[in-house]
Structure 1
Amino acid sequence: MKDIQTNEREKAILVGCQLPHVDDERFSYSMEELKSLTKTANGEVIMTLTQKREKIHSATYIGKGKVEELANLAKELEADVVIFNDELSPSQNRNLSKLLDARVIDRTQLILDIFAQRARSKEGKLQVELAQLEYLLPRLTGQGTALSRLGGGIGTRGPGETKLETDRRHIHRRIDEIKEQLKIIAEHRERYRERRKKNQVFQVALVGYTNAGKSTLFNRLTDADSFEENLLFATLDPLTKKLTLRGGYTVLLTDTVGFIQDLPTTLVAAFRSTLEEVKEADLILHVVDSSNPDYFNHEETVYELLDELKVTGIPIITVYNKQDIVHPNFVPSSKTESLMISAFREADLIRLRQMIEETVVKLMKPYYALIPSNEGKLLAQLKSDTILRELRYDEQTGMYECHGYILANHALNGQLKPYQK
């Protein structure tokens, strides 16, 4: 099966192998996702080549005849890169590189390449370089000439091929250096998280499949300017901003990198800093693209990765986004509390803020307190650090009667003089 398209930029041929346990719809969507990843990496798909097999060919991924067909097509169409829809073993990569007159990369390397483009913070760049080095290290044997001819393009961004060609000891030293730097950064991040916990700041994390609309939602809720675009992995580095709920209560909202199917462990490590923010959250907003035909599998992928990360016991609200372009076959399937919205509708954002507030209240305890009229600072703190539902001034006593909700171990608890309602 072939799908030919015209192209002006770096030309890419996609290759997929469908095994018996993968149905046609699932396989088709996986190849479409690979096409989207290629677009995100600044490539243009000129052809898609697929094959059905009982099992992956141990030496060349696809069968001998298909490899010959692929070699002719790559030469005829002057392809720059051939991208395989699975992680190739080092030997498969070497064999295919010898047979094809084009760069050979796999799905993992493509995603790593996108990460290299998207990383902005020092930590993000270090994490990506570490993942690339650990991925490429076992694939260096016998690839000297192949690596020399790579030059630039998809699959070559990051640590640099000349650096990779030098020698293994240098690579191992660099890996150790990066791990040491990341350890120091992780310690700083941990201290920052401990300070937030000590200050009793309620933390909300946005998670979801890549391109579900998390950054758009993040920007609309916080008036931030996080990068948003219709591309996979538009966000890599975690970004945290204040979100003010009704009445003035402030929480911290963190935007995270999108999840994706078949994510190798090296890639999970590559955005560990983001995922640690999820583990520390008090509430998770799971954003799902309701316009995507594969939305159900996207949900399952996110839950599987959360399980792998041992993210348990944290309340989850499922936010079905893109209601304005919802898929005709969409049916909400979440087992958690859920809400259908469009991030571009203000009324929907108000409903979402209300649901967040209702969930926060369930995790707090009620308080009834008397505050002297000259305690302006304490009143201001009640508005920002608690959910203040009622504030009434009693002229006879000169006291404010306050009713609201507060986190059980918040420092303000000790300053509140209770009264009976």
Structure 2
Amino acid sequence: MLDNEFHISKDARASLVSLVCPKFAEHSTEKDTMRSLMELRELLNTLGIENGEQYVQNRKSVDPATILGSGKIKEIADQAKEEGSSLLVFDCELTSSQIRNIKNLTGLSVVDRCHVILEIFSQHARTKEAKIQIEISRLQYLLPRLSGFWTHLSRQKGGIGVRGGEGEQQIELDRRIVRERIEFFKKELDEVRKSREQQKKKRQNKAVTAALVGYTNAGKSSVMNRLCGVEVLEENKLFATLDSTYRMLNPDTKPPMILIDTVGFISNLPNTLIDGFKTTLESAIEADLLIIVCDISDPNYKKHLEVTQQVLSELGVENKEQMIVFNKKDLHPDPLGQKIILRTNPDSFLVSTYNEEDMVNLKASIINHFLDKQEHYDLFVPYEAGEAHSKVVSKTNVLATHTHERGIFYRVRVPKFIFNPLDLNKYILAPEDPLIEEFINE
């Protein structure tokens, strides 16, 4: 690992370190710790880093200096070196002093779970906004930990000539540089957000949106590809998708229906990335429907659903309309178990992205969800009102028509926000209008 560049070398072999401690969130039981370590291995696989052995200690309390205590840390380091590891990865968030203490004790490079996630995010971000937000998160994580990573902490000489006085400590200079970079990127982010707000206003009331959300690697991109007939990157890796991707779900409805693929959630999300998630997930905040995709084949799927609801709550969208899609049913061979899951989660869907019928049914359900929310109108438009006929056909979903000697009956459904500006209110048939009986009887 190049400490000064804050990047994890892909050539490193990593040994994983964790603990079971009743007082430590997400590691209070052995089951929690093993689940989290398995996830950490997948995160390292996403970075292309070779996984070594994992070391877990049961403790009543966390050692403030080294997490596990100096004796245990030295023991782990000796075993890690024997297996050829040059990197210790802790499945928790470390402070600057903890990083420095463990490095001094072991002579190995030391990173934590947060550092690994930040590294993945920095490599996978594609849009300008995501790149800026992740760089801010990375610098905010780095700022309080500079003394743990930086090795050039000697004082600089100040003044003129050989006899100049002591200048700033290098660490203080580094901190000032990092703070200035954070402020610079925040200003850039504000400009990008202003541009996006303008684009959002242009799109407003021109489409309805459904956002695919859920735990990372649940198969959201695969679902989008099958529903929209597109090719969004889909990999069996955590955080393969970091940027929101927009695709047309159904261009034939009025308004068009758009599907959004979003970044996956994960447990133990670092505090420095919370704002980054909120920025990347603003598309989900604005969506009309949240489609929660959950990998039914994962033994921890219940935990994944909990984390998803927790993140949605933090985003303030927990009360938005939701639909749960249990994906990868082909990898869950227990039919009885599948039925129990569906029974305990009403209005949910069980699908495999490799099953065409599943995808056709799911797409129809999403489209019908939006159509059922639309208002129904019975219209009678005289033949001479040519512009009105054009608006009805091009701007509304026509369910039925019937010709009359004086005009055309239309039964349509369309959202109010689209219907009201069309200036078609004068053609609405009142329930008591005698013409409506003729239309209904037809």
SS in 2 for 1:140: helix
Match of 2:269 in 1: 263
* Distance change >3 Å, CA 214–CA 395, structure 1 → 2: same
1:286-365 → structure 2 map (5 Å cutoff): 286-326=292-332, 328=334, 329=337, 331-332=340-341, 335=345, 337-365=347-375
What is the letter of the counterpart of residue 69 of structure 1?
Answer: E
Deviation at 1:166, TM superposition (A): 6.0
The 2-side partners of 1:147 and 1:411 are apart by 67
* Distance change >3 Å, CA 395–CA 28, structure 1 → 2: same
* Distance change >3 Å, CA 391–CA 142, structure 1 → 2: closer
Match of 1:118 in 2: 124
Conserved 8 A contact 2:248-2:257 = yes
Per-residue deviation, residues 143-197 of structure 1 (Å, max 9, x unmatched): 432899xxxxxxxxxxxxxx99962211111100100111111122222222222
Deviation at 1:336, TM superposition (A): 5.7
Task: Verify: 1:187 aligned to 2:194, yes or no.
Answer: yes
Unaligned 5+ segments in structure 2 are 1-9, 155-169, 430-435
* Distance change >3 Å, CA 69–CA 371, structure 1 → 2: farther
- Higher deviation after alignment, 267-276 or 92-101: 267-276
The 2-side partners of 1:100 and 1:13 are apart by 12
SS in 1 for 2:348: strand
Conserved 8 A contact 1:204-1:285 = yes
Unaligned 5+ segments in structure 1 are 1-7, 149-162
Match of 1:10 in 2: 12
Match of 1:407 in 2: 415
Match of 1:396 in 2: 405
Match of 1:104 in 2: 110
Deviation at 1:393, TM superposition (A): 4.4
Of 223, 230, 249, the residue aligned with 1:224 is 230
* Distance change >3 Å, CA 129–CA 39, structure 1 → 2: same
The 2-side partners of 1:19 and 1:302 are apart by 24
* Distance change >3 Å, CA 142–CA 266, structure 1 → 2: closer
The 2-side partners of 1:212 and 1:204 are apart by 17
* Equivalences, count: 394
Match of 1:88 in 2: 94
* Distance change >3 Å, CA 336–CA 130, structure 1 → 2: farther
* Distance change >3 Å, CA 393–CA 362, structure 1 → 2: closer
RMSD: 2.6
Deviation at 1:64, TM superposition (A): 2.6
What is the letter of the counterpart of residue 24 of structure 1?
Answer: E
The 2-side partners of 1:370 and 1:340 are apart by 43
The 2-side partners of 1:193 and 1:377 are apart by 27
What is the letter of the counterpart of residue 88 of structure 1?
Answer: L
Per-residue deviation, residues 266-287 of structure 1 (Å, max 9, x unmatched): 1121233321111111111000
**Rg larger in 1 or in 2?**
2
Conserved 8 A contact 1:323-1:340 = yes
Deviation at 1:25, TM superposition (A): 2.4
What is the letter of the counterpart of residue 141 of structure 1?
Answer: S
What is the letter of the counterpart of residue 101 of structure 1?
Answer: G
Deviation at 1:72, TM superposition (A): 0.5
Of 178, 183, 189, the residue aligned with 1:176 is 183
Match of 2:55 in 1: 49
1:190-209 → structure 2 map (5 Å cutoff): 190-197=197-204, 199-209=205-215
SS in 1 for 2:268: coil
Match of 1:366 in 2: 376
Conserved 8 A contact 1:241-1:252 = yes
Conserved 8 A contact 1:318-1:339 = yes
The 1-side partners of 2:362 and 2:148 are apart by 55
The 2-side partners of 1:397 and 1:342 are apart by 52
Conserved 8 A contact 2:18-2:56 = yes
Conserved 8 A contact 2:206-2:255 = no
* Distance change >3 Å, CA 342–CA 372, structure 1 → 2: farther
Match of 2:4 in 1: none
The 2-side partners of 1:67 and 1:414 are apart by 71
The 1-side partners of 2:412 and 2:35 are apart by 49
Deviation at 1:335, TM superposition (A): 5.0
* Distance change >3 Å, CA 351–CA 141, structure 1 → 2: same
Deviation at 1:17, TM superposition (A): 0.7
The 2-side partners of 1:303 and 1:81 are apart by 34
The 1-side partners of 2:211 and 2:284 are apart by 6
The 1-side partners of 2:382 and 2:270 are apart by 58
Of 30, 33, 48, the residue aligned with 2:36 is 30
* Distance change >3 Å, CA 200–CA 336, structure 1 → 2: farther
- Higher deviation after alignment, 251-260 or 334-343: 334-343
What is the letter of the counterpart of residue 183 of structure 1?
Answer: D
Match of 2:285 in 1: 279
Match of 1:5 in 2: none
Identity rate of aligned residues, in percent? 35
